[in-house]
Structure 1
Amino acid sequence: MNHPEQMFNYHSWANQTLLNRIKELPANVLREEVNTAFPTIAQAFSHIYAVESVWYRVLNGDRMQEALEMCMPLEKENLLHSAVQFANDFAQSAEYYKEWLRDQDDLERTILLENPYAGTRETRLSEIVLHVVNHGTYHRGNVSAMLRQLGHASTMNDYSLFWYQ
């Protein structure tokens, strides 16, 4: 298994680990408002999922602008999801990514990425996968902080714990 694939497996595990913790809490915890990066935990998970979907489409050859137009509406569409529905969405997305990763001969191959926010650059496929992982890690940290603000403990989902799972 290559490093980007291993890191994506960690990302998938960490999403499920945090969602499993949220499943233990009252269902309304997803929509309780807090004063942080996202107003609700549901919005944070909707954002992670939408962005993960954008990058999957880019990895499969879509222009970034087209991928954004197709996937970013998911941020609003998924706001009423339960923790179980989010877990199912992320599990399905993980299967798509894992299948894509299995089919790749060269993750160091570059594509021309036309990012409407940052400009155009050559980007390695591996960099995109690692960005998806890093983006998820950043926002799972937001979710953990949100849980604490709401009076609930989060759960450890560090990469070093993943090593032992």
Structure 2
Amino acid sequence: MNHPEQMFNYHSWANQVLLNRIKELPSAVLREEVNTSFPTIAQAFGHIYAVESVWYRVLNGVRMQEALEMCMPLEKETLLHSADHFANDFAQLAEQYREWFRRQEDLDRTILLENPYAGTRETRLSEIVLHVVNHGTYHRGNISAMLRQLGHASTMNDYSLFWYQGAGNSTNL
């Protein structure tokens, strides 16, 4: 398995670990408001999911502007999701990514990325995958801080825990 795919598997695992922690808490925790980067945990998960969906489409040849138009409404559509629903959505999207990985022969292949916010550049497919992972890590940190603000402990979902739990040796995450 290549490094970008391994990192994506970590990302998928970490999303599920955090969602499993949230399933242990009262369901209202997803919609309790906090004063941070997102008003609610549900909005943070909705954002992660929508952005992952955008990048999945870009990796499959959809222009970024079109992918944004298709996927960003998902942020609002997921506001009432339960933790179980989020977990299922993320698991399905992760499987789509894994199928994409199985079809790739060269993750160093470049595409012309026309980002409507940042401009145009040649970008390796592997860079996009690592961006998806980094974006998710950043926002899982936001969610952990939000949980603490709401009086709940988060859960460890570091990359090193992924190694030590043996999840890094499995593709069935």
Q: Could you tell me how far 1:102 is from its partner in structure 2? A: 1.1
SS at match of 1:8: helix
- Which residue does the alignment assign to 1:31? 31
1:81-124 CA-partner distances (Å, limit 9, x unpaired):
00000000000000000010111000000000000000000000
SS at match of 1:163: helix
In structure 2, distance between residues paired with 1:11 and 1:98: 12
Report the residue type matching 2:152 in the other structure: H
1:72 aligns with 2:72: yes
- Which residue does the alignment assign to 2:4? 4
Gaps of 5+ in 1: none
- Which residue does the alignment assign to 2:140? 140
Q: Could you tell me how far 1:164 is from its partner in structure 2? A: 1.4
Q: Could you tell me how far 1:146 is from its partner in structure 2? A: 0.0
- Which residue does the alignment assign to 1:159? 159
Segments of 4+ in structure 1 off by > 2 A? none
In structure 2, distance between residues paired with 1:103 and 1:6: 16
- Which residue does the alignment assign to 2:52? 52
1:26-50 CA-partner distances (Å, limit 9, x unpaired):
0000000000000000000000000
SS at match of 2:164: coil
Report the residue type matching 1:10 in the other structure: Y
Report the residue type matching 2:54 in the other structure: V
- Which residue does the alignment assign to 1:101? 101
In structure 1, distance between residues paired with 2:114 and 2:99: 25
- Which residue does the alignment assign to 2:89? 89
- Which residue does the alignment assign to 1:113? 113
Q: Could you tell me how far 1:75 is from its partner in structure 2? A: 0.2
Gaps of 5+ in 2: 166-173
Report the residue type matching 1:88 in the other structure: N
In structure 1, distance between residues paired with 2:27 and 2:72: 24
Instruction: Give the alignment's TM-score, normalised by structure 2.
Output: 0.95
Report the residue type matching 2:61 in the other structure: G
Let me know the Cα RMSD of the aligned residues. Answer: 0.3
Q: How many aligned positions are there?
A: 165
